[in-house]
Amino acid sequence: MCKETDLTYQALKFYCNEGLIPDVKRDKNNRRIFDEYNVRWIKDLVCLKKCGMSIQEMKEYLDLCLQGEQTIPQRKEMLTKKQESLRQNIKELKESIDYIDWKQSFYNEVLSGERPYVSNLIRKENAENRQTK
């Protein structure tokens, strides 16, 4: 089950103990038996976790799911908020990557002699004083 759901044993046990996987059956040795519904839901939980949902948010989402179709608008709203947060994270990551790309190009130009080195930390007069010492 752990391989199929990409969870560690401890994580799977934690989700079960937190009540995030409803209706898990047990065999005669008290081991959990997961059916196809459990497996699909566990995969959903893994995705929700990757989306940044907290355990509490996953519990709220589960509660809404268990209430049935009438809670779809609330579930959509929860997912929309997570989606907006993820899009903001992507935007910030893209800006960070763009900065690193720019900085790498700057360093390449300095190292190749195409551009003089200018620092935002070292003032030109301080750099000249250091070179003459």
Which DSSP string do the residues of 35-48 spell out, in sequence order? -HHHHHHHHHHHHH
Asked whether the predicted pLDDT for residue 127 surpasses 70, the reply is: no
Q: Let me know how long the chain is.
A: 133
Distance between CA atoms of 42 and 72, rounded to whole angstroms? 19
Identify the three-state secondary structure at position 25.
strand
Dump pLDDT digits (tens) for 75-123: 999 999 999 999 999 999 999 999 999 999 999 999 999 999 998 898 8
Asked whether the predicted pLDDT for residue 130 surpasses 90, the reply is: no
Q: Name the residue among 63, 61, 96, 97 with its Cα closest to residue 79.
A: 61
Domains of the chain and CATH, by start: 2-106 (1.10.1660.10)
Asked whether the predicted pLDDT for residue 126 surpasses 90, the reply is: no
